[in-house]
Amino acid sequence: MYIQHFGMAQYPFSLTPNTRYFLKLPNHQKVFTQLIKALDDQGNFIKIIGEVGTGKTMLCRKVLHALECHKKRYITAYIPHPILSEEGIMHALAEELSIERDPYISYFDLLRLITAELINISAENKSVILFIDEAQAMPEETLEAIHLLTNIETANENHLQVVLFGQPELNQLLDRLVLSQLKRNLMFSFQLTALDRDGLEAYVAHRLNKAGYNGPQMFTKKALDSLFKGSAGIPRLINILSHKALMAAFGSGDQFIEEDHVDRAIIDTEAARKKKSFAAGLFAS
């Protein structure tokens, strides 16, 4: 649509997580580095908390990509939609571990197969790392079933590590009495935060550059200020508003993104209207 108009090779603000666009901003890079170290320390459970749109899925995929270099040490499994029963989550894990099974297998036999595979992997001095995205949506019984798998005794003590990515509601889920033992086994916890104003400017420039843009600064200072107020530094909202602002500029035949283009994008985006109104109230006070 507008990529040729702005001299780019691809759309810079897609909502689909792409590790090529991962930017080493202080908070995100810190969490990435600490997460990799935590996996080396082999804690059973690790928790990553972040508001909607702060880049949890992007970080998850970045870590998965990084672990590709350590196939002799780790086997990774990824479950993006964990709203599953205990049996459903075990089938998902078995699928990730390439365990052949009868589709009508009993829950008991399914657990037996998974346990045997974990023991075999442990005997090879490897660990399975299970990444669960949107973990705040998991039924407590399903999360407890995963917890029980980490208690299997093997030669390699930490045969299964679990990394939970979730919204702040995940904290409330883990506070439930039935999950108190799991919470005690939580070795590390990290928080993803929104970008500050400088981080937002670096983020926008980085994504434009990765998309192939090599001209002068496309977003004016006032446009970036408005973008920050409308997005509150949330990467997903930054992407939505930037894409709409580019569309508005393209429609007007403009080469640069002005404050008006961003404001039109904010008006067209309910979540951004609320954030900008809130920010205006803060500045007024």
Residue 275 carries which DSSP code? H
Pair 32, 166 in one domain? yes
In a domain, 8, yes or no: no
In a domain, 267, yes or no: yes
pLDDT in the model for residue 285: 43
Task: Give the lowest-confidence range in 13-27, 150-164, 240-254.
Answer: 150-164
Query: Which amino acid, 241?
Result: L
Distance CA 47, CA 146 (A): 14
Last residue of a domain, one of 139, 157, 192: 192
- In the chain, how many domains are there? 2
Last residue of a domain, one of 192, 227, 259: 192
In a domain, 84, yes or no: yes
Residue 219 carries which DSSP code? B
In a domain, 85, yes or no: yes
pLDDT grade for 284, boundaries at 50, 70 and 90: very low
Beta-sheet pairing, 127-132 with 160-166? parallel
pLDDT in the model for residue 164: 96
**Residue range 14-22: mean pLDDT, rounded:** 83
pLDDT in the model for residue 25: 78
Instruction: Give the list of residues 6+ apart from residue 237 with CB closer than 8 angstroms, or none.
Output: 53, 230, 231, 269, 271, 272, 275
In a domain, 6, yes or no: no
Distance CA 111, CA 91 (A): 9
pLDDT in the model for residue 283: 42
**Residue range 41-60: mean pLDDT, rounded:** 88
Distance CA 16, CA 13 (A): 9
Please report, for the domain that includes residue 211, its CATH number. Answer: 1.10.8.60
In a domain, 14, yes or no: no
The H or E element containing residue 180 is helix 180-184
pLDDT in the model for residue 233: 95
Burial of 59 (0-12, 13-18, 19+ CB in 10 A): buried
pLDDT one-digit tens code per residue, 201-239? 999 999 999 999 999 999 999 999 999 999 999 999 999
> Tokens representing 248?
């508005």
In a domain, 149, yes or no: yes
pLDDT of 242 strictly over 50: yes
pLDDT one-digit tens code per residue, 70-118? 777 889 999 998 899 999 999 999 999 999 999 899 999 999 999 999 9
Pair 99, 214 in one domain? no
Percent of the chain with pLDDT over 90: 65
Last residue of a domain, one of 192, 222, 249: 192
Task: Look at phi and psi of residue 226 and say left if phi exceeds 0, alpha if psi is from -120 to 50, else beta.
Answer: alpha
pLDDT in the model for residue 255: 94
pLDDT grade for 277, boundaries at 50, 70 and 90: low
pLDDT in the model for residue 157: 62
Q: Alpha helix (H) ranges present in 68-106?
A: 86-96
Distance CA 80, CA 271 (A): 24
pLDDT, mean over the chain: 89
Pair 159, 227 in one domain? no
**Residue range 144-158: mean pLDDT, rounded:** 77
- Longest Cα separation, the chain: 66
pLDDT of 61 strictly over 70: yes
> Tokens representing 73?
């040490």
- More confident of the two residues 65 and 154: 65
Query: Which amino acid, 39?
Result: L
Please report, for the domain that includes residue 92, its CATH number. Answer: 3.40.50.300
Range of the domain at 188: 26-192
pLDDT in the model for residue 276: 62
Pair 50, 143 in one domain? yes
* Cβ-contact 2, 250 below 8 angstroms: yes
pLDDT of 282 strictly over 50: no
Which residue in 154, 145, 129, 137 sits closest to 182, CA to CA? 145
